[in-house]
Amino acid sequence: MASVNKRRWPHNGVEKEAWIVRYVDHSGKRRGKTFNKKKDADAYKRKVEADMDNGLHVPDGDTDTIKGMGEKLLRHLELRQLNGGLSRQRLYIYRLAFDRGVVPYIGNVKLSELKFSHLDAWWLELSKTSISERTRRDYLKCLKVLESFAIKRGASKKAVVPGFIKELGTLPEKPIRVLNSEQVGRLLEVVEERPKGKQRRTHAILRCAVHLAAFCGLRFGEIMGLTVVNLDLDAQVIQVRHSLNVFGELKGPKTAAGRRDVPIPSHVAEMLREWLRTSFIPNERGLVFRTDGGGDMALTNFHKFCWKPLLRRAGLWDEGGDQYHFHALRHFAASFMIQNGLPVTDVASMLGHRKFDTTLQVYAHPIVGGSRRLETAETMARLLLVSDTRETQETLTP
């Protein structure tokens, strides 16, 4: 624990005095800070002891740097995670960003002295690595959070990172490869046949996942986060209330719109009944889909052992090219619903989008060929130009 001691010394014939707070930090290093008034020393002592108890204390000299303030931010986030205010996945992302992308390059830079030149040099160094630009921008967002955290606590006065982000501009979105109707039909056909050597339950999970994504637009995490109590198969409705993240945590939707009831076709309802009857493994959280060992179906394993082989069997795997992601089925579902007359507002509701323009901009892709578009254009011309044609004929008639 910390202690407060009075110190006296002579200076130019005058006796001076001060109050010193002494303590040993988490690393075992002796620390001290001097105050002119005892009340200030006592207040600092109480703060040090409270921060030490909560694992938040970073010595004053260390908080000046990005590394030191980063450690304090991570301890703050760890407390939030323990209290349920932050997911383990989000905490992991922050820690990874600081450990790999921030501290090794600019960790010793003082926050109060951070300039565009530091960020320019840092960005250039990161650009020379194999780290993608999207990941580099994620690192930058974490640095922005750190800077804001420091400003709120008086460790820095001016925000530099937001201006740097603005100067970089937006990163062009990489268009996702979208499956068309014929390709999805091929996948649905091939997934019905279990390959030789593939475990029955693993293949059944793949089959259910493909249908839930293609017909209902569910995300992979939402599929794996389904619980028995959220299935109303008689009413043919799935209540989307959770998503399972990479740490096995059931997290609620990011927005209120993500909490939704999704209608399911009768064949999907029957497929889920069959799964519950033959393959469901009882578990504390009532999760519908569990592996043979009772664990989570991780996305990486799903892609490697289920989705990728399915694409190969369906003839949709492009060696050396850009591959179809499982999420492409969700894009297809949105486009197909709109193409077949479902109002975009209803599609947005089914997908869990707060704004329908997100559905249009991100998920609604053209899935019909040029002949269908030409047919639509010709129909519009016939309907809209009929009156003009009659007027022209009447004018030309002598």
Whether 231 and 333 share a structural domain: yes
Number of domains in the chain: 3
Whether 198 and 346 share a structural domain: yes
342 found inside a domain = yes
- pLDDT of 363: 59
- Higher confidence at residue 10 or residue 385? 10
295 found inside a domain = yes
Whether 188 and 156 share a structural domain: no
In tens, the pLDDT along 90-131 reads 899 999 999 999 999 999 998 878 999 999 999 999 999 999
**pLDDT surpasses 90 at 52:** no
Q: Which of 120, 139, 168 is the last residue of a domain?
A: 168
Whether 224 and 341 share a structural domain: yes
- pLDDT of 137: 93
In tens, the pLDDT along 218-273 reads 999 999 999 999 999 999 999 999 999 888 888 888 788 789 999 999 999 999 99
- pLDDT of 356: 65
CATH of the domain at 235: 1.10.443.10
Domain that holds residue 330: 181-351
Whether 187 and 142 share a structural domain: no
Sign for the CA dihedral angle at 38, 44, 50, 52 comes to: negative
In tens, the pLDDT along 349-378 reads 888 877 766 666 665 555 445 555 566 676
**pLDDT surpasses 70 at 62:** no
Model confidence band, residue 56 (pLDDT cutoffs 50, 70, 90): low
Task: Count Cβ atoms within 10 A of the Cβ of residue 16 and give its class: 0-12 exposed, 13-18 middle, 19 or more buried.
Answer: exposed
Model confidence band, residue 193 (pLDDT cutoffs 50, 70, 90): very high
Q: What pTM value is reported for the model?
A: 0.68
Beta carbons of 324 and 365 less than 8 angstroms apart: no
Whether 158 and 203 share a structural domain: no
Question: What share of the chain has pLDDT > 70, as a percent?
Answer: 87
Whether 155 and 259 share a structural domain: no
Instruction: Note the residue count of the chain.
Output: 398
Torsion of CA 312, 316, 321, 322, to 10 degrees: -110
CATH of the domain at 149: 1.10.150
